[in-house]
Structure formats: C-alpha cells, structure tokens
Amino acid sequence: MNFRKIIKILSLIFLAGAIAFSPSFSVGTLSNGKIIEIRIEDILIFFLGFSLLIGFLASGKTAVEKPPLFFPILIWLSAGLLSVLTNWAFSNLALDKGFFYFLKECQFFVFYFYVFWCVKKIDTVKLLVNIWLVFAFVNVLYVLYQMVSGFRTGEYGTAAIGEWGVFPTGAFFLLLFVFLFNVFLYYFLSLNISITKKAGLGIMAFSPVLGVFGSASKTVFTAWLFVLFLTFLFFFLRKINLKAVLVFVLVIVLAIPIFSFALRNVPDLIRVKEIIPVFSFRPLWQSYLNSRFYDAIQPLFQASLESSAHLPFLGMGKGYVGEAHNQYLRNFIEMGFVSSLTFFILIFAIIGKSWQGFSKSRDGLAIGLSAGLLTATLALLFISFATEPFIVVKPSSVYWFFAGLTMAVLRPK
C-alpha cells in the first residue's frame, strides 16, 4: 500500500473519530441570535475536501468517477441554491442565515463524496466498519458510566461524547445501531469465526440501543421500534430460517433488560412509557398531536402561508425557519412546494439504490450496509414527521458517512 492510500484511510478514520467524539465550539452568533457552532469534523472535512480537489487538479486528470446519487444530490443542492439566491435577491432572507444553513447541508454531501472517492477496496470498508464498532462502543461505555455514576450530561438523560441535545444523541445512537446491527446480521453472523467472537461482535453492534434508551427521547424511541420492525422484516425477506428466528428472539430478550436497566438509571426515560403502544397506536398518536402537531407544526404552517404569497412557489430560503418540528414542513417553507419535491427525488434514489444493493448483492457486507442504509433512510423519513433529522449535524454526519461506505461497496467491480 502506498503512502497516499494510507493517508486517505487515516483521514477517513480521523473523520469518523471526529464525528463520534468531537464536541462543538461556539464561533459567533447569527443575526437571529442562534449560536454558530463548529466541530472538529467541520474543519477536517474542509481541509480534506480541499486537498482532494487540489490533488485532482494537480494530477492533470479531467474525469472523476461519478458517485451514485450524484444527480439527485445535484438537483437537491441546485434547488436549495435557487431558493437561497431568490430570497437574497428579494431581501427576504438574512445573508448569514442562508449562507450557513446552506453550507451545512453541502457539508453532508461532501462527507458522502469524500468517503465514496477515498474508499476503493472492500478491506477499507471492513476496517472502517470495525472502527465504527469500536467508536460506538466507547460512546456506549460513556453512557453506561453516566447511568451508573448518576452524573448525566444530556438534555434529559444521558448524552453521547461531546453532545448534549436529546435528539442528536438519540438519533446518533439509533443510526449507529441500524448500520452496525445490519452489518452484524448479514456479515458478521455468517463469518467463519468462533461463537464467542460472534457474541462479542453482536453485543458491540447491539450496544448503541443503550444510548437510544439513555437519551430519553420519545421520538427516537418510537423510531427504534420502527427500525426493529423494519430490520427483521428485511432480514426475514432475505433469510427465513431457524437461525434468523433465534436472533430475533434473542434481540427481544436482550432489549427488555437493557430498557429496564436504563429506566432504573435515567429518571427522564419515564417519558417514553406513556407512548409505548401495547395494543394500540392511540397514545403515540395523541402524544404526537399534543406535543408536536397542535403546538408547533400546525401554527407554523398557517403562519407561513399567511406571511408570504410566494411561499408555495419559491419558498423563503434555507435557514428561514428556526425549528419546524417537521422536515417536510421545513422543506416546504424554505424551498416552496415544487423545489421541496426534489427532496423526494433524492430520497427515492437512495431507497432505490439501497434496495438494489440489498436484493441483488451476494456479498454479506454489501447486503448489510444496503439494508442499513434502507432502514436508516426509512427511519429518518419516519422521524421527519416529528423533527428535522436531515439537518441535525451528528446523526446526519453518521448517515452520509455510511451512505458513502455503502455506495463504495456497491460500486461495480
């Protein structure tokens, strides 16, 4: 392996480390008083992306490998830029707000492109998955420490390293669980290794569940139930045998004591008890209506329609909305009806690619990552009814990092 390749792999490891552990630093405030926070991965990806560009230009090449989702991403970003420029031209949107919100969104795609272009071999993917397994486990140990010591650092419950917010923590662990557990189901489980090693890997892949429970987020907990349903639905679609059923039973058996342990040690986790649907979805639906729909989503939607006549066509620009509690509503207000449809073009492209990878691949790792990406995307769409997961930094960084890995594995040989 030459020096350049080692540097590329190291940069990916640093990037994963920064996403997993970096705290945020305040660097100023926007005109609406919102604090601008940056993380180590923001600085890192700027330099890495820049060096990749310089390297490409210096090489004298003119063509670059086209990553999957290239056009849907381009369309989504163009629609975003169109809405920002239009509203800047009409002086509807503050310069700083539009700039930083749009930049943040671009950054997620830079993560995706960077990972895709740097990962050329399946061994690199395996290495990165193993590293993520370790990084996730270290975060889980930190959560465990908070539970046992009673020294909690999260908004409601426990927090991931360098994080505080309830949703960023919960969704970060949820996405790690989705990707790592799917890789475990389709890849680690079928490896020719001892049962002890498999059990160890299984525990590590399943462990982010503790972070999900510890965050005490109602939204993330509901999404976790949805994720569990999807994961096993896809798993049974692919392999229906005694081993698969056993794993399913084991997961349920494992999840119950973990939940009761978290419930004993995180007092705020009591919040999720009210929405656990035992025989009916009514409590969950009522909770959504009371805490999200009537209080935030409906008034914001009405206020937006009243505030601007051109909203349905052009939108009010990226960063116009403070907190919409609904990704679809945010897209609609910021980009208008027509442009917000490009979000679905991107989402359907991701779902299509991951379904293709899931149903047609023969390699366990490719199937696991594809199933993970498919489940994660559907989970984020589900969460999007209650919050805006696609703009929350920590989970989005994990999502696009793994999307890059998945597409690199699915790359035609």
Partner 1 sequence: MSYPEEKQENQLKEVDLLDVVRIAKKRKKIILALLLAGLAAGVFWYFTAPSNYQGTIILKIGGFDRLGEATGKKSLEYFENISEIAERLRKGAYGDYPEAEAVNPLNTNLIEINLVTKSRAQTQEILEKIKTDVLSIHNQKAESKKQVIDQEITFLKDKIENLNEDISFFIAKGEQTALLKLEIYNMEKLVNNLEKEKTNILMSEVLKGPDIVEKRPGCLSILFAGALGLLVGLLAAFFTDWLEKNRKRI
Which residues contribute to the site for partner 1 (CB under 8 A)? 29, 31-33, 35, 62-66, 70, 78, 81-82, 85-86, 88-91, 95, 299, 303, 306-307, 412
Residues contacting 268, CB < 8 A, separation 6+: 156, 157, 216
Q: Pick between residue 78 and residue 260 the one whose CB is nearest to partner 1.
A: 78
**Smallest distance from partner 1 to CB 317, Å:** 11
Q: Are 107 and 77 in contact (CB under 8 A)?
A: no
Residues 6+ apart with CB under 8 A from 22: 39, 40, 41, 162
Q: In angstroms, rounded to a whole number, what is the distance separating the alpha carbons of residues 270 and 216?
A: 8
Q: How far is the CB of 298 from partner 1 (least distance, A)?
A: 12
Q: Is 26 helix (H, G, I), strand (E, B) or coil?
A: strand
Spatial CB neighbours of 37, under 8 Å, sequence gap ≥ 6: 24, 25, 26, 27
Give the pair of three-digit tokens for residue 286: 């009522």
Choice between 34 and 198, CB closer to partner 1: 34
Cβ at position 86, least distance to partner 1 in Å:
6
The least distance separating partner 1 from the CB of residue 406, rounded to whole angstroms, comes to: 18
88 versus 232: smaller Cβ distance to partner 1: 88
Cβ-based nearer residue to partner 1, 65 or 194: 65
Query: What kind and span of H or E run contains 38?
Result: strand 35-39
* Tokens read off for 223: 């999404």
In whole angstroms, give the CA distance from residue 25 to residue 39.
6
Residue type, 6: I
Nearest-approach distance from CB 120 to partner 1, in angstroms? 14
Q: Least distance to partner 1 from the beta carbon of 271, Å?
A: 21
Q: In angstroms, what is the minimal distance from the CB of 88 to partner 1?
A: 4
What is the nearest approach in angstroms of partner 1 to the Cβ of residue 85?
Answer: 4
Q: Specify the residue, 109 or 259, whose C-beta has the smaller distance to partner 1.
A: 109
Nearer to partner 1, 62 or 196 (CB): 62
DSSP 340-368: HHHHHHHHHHHHHHHHHHHHH--SHHHHH
Residue with tokens 């909305």: 321
Contact between 379 and 227 under an 8 Å Cβ cutoff? The reply is yes
Q: CB neighbours of 133 closer than 8 A, spacing ≥ 6?
A: 180, 201, 204, 205
- Please list the residues that pair with 25 across neighbouring strands: 38
Rank residues 89 and 242 by Cβ distance to partner 1 and give the closer one: 89
Q: How far is CA 215 from the centre of its chain?
A: 16
Q: Looking at beta carbons only, is 66 or 282 nearer to partner 1?
A: 66
Residue with Cβ nearer partner 1 (174 or 311): 311
Instruction: Report the nearest approach of partner 1 to the CB of residue 388 (Å).
Output: 17
- Return the HEC string of 279-317: CCCHHHHHHHHHHHHHHHHHHHHHHHHHHCCCHHHHCCC
